[in-house]
Structure 1
Amino acid sequence: MQTRKTLVASSLLGLSCLALTGCAGPRLARKMQDFIGKPETALVRALGVPDRRSVNGDVVHDQYRHTITYSVPGWTGGPAFVDQRPAIGGIPPTVPPQTYKNTCVINFRIVHGLVQSYRATGSVC
């Protein structure tokens, strides 16, 4: 019974984390789409200096990394969740705290100083 309660608590924490990570998608895509056709300076002004850059003639590839880190506190069951079997000693179930890191890598292709396209990969894009 204790294992089942712990599993339920872990599942609820996992679902809440999934809900949080789904928030970045469409809004981020619209924001990045606005840079298409604009000069590279607009990109740097809005997003800062790229984390990585490669130049091949007139084609420039700028890479930005967007990382979200969040923590979910641990949980210890209260009196209603305590396993009452004497052999276990009435130890409440616990779920340890978790820290999650989600990263989105955005690559921009810039030709002759104008942003031509972008590609976003990762769990929060």
Structure 2
Amino acid sequence: MDPKGADELIESLLDKLHLTRLLEIRSLFGQLMDKSLWFTHRPAIQNVSGQPSIALPVHVTDAGLPLGIQAVGRPGDEQDAFVARRADGEDFRVTDAAGAAQGAGLIRQISSS
């Protein structure tokens, strides 16, 4: 079914169930998304949309500029977004602030080896 047809079907069902006020919520949510995406950085764009992501520092150039990667997970699947593979093949999982600090340290170790 094409998107326009799906929209018409949803609107028709909501109208029959006297729930057309729900269409206003969807419009409001869309406006909030548009406004928030205007001023957020790249990882936050995915996070706002429900797609978890994290920017990870992996290297500092000779000129002192940081280089990083952006790891992006599947929508709604935060756990897998924060899994990384170390050089020795072991995984670490970021589950709290201490784990995040440990993860940053491991990434620095990998990038410096």
Q: Considering the TM-score relative to the shorter chain, is it more than 0.5?
A: no
Specify the structure having the higher radius of gyration (Cα).
Answer: 1
TM score, norm. by length of structure 1: 0.23
More strand by share: 1
Relative contact order, higher structure (CA 8 A, sep 6+): 1
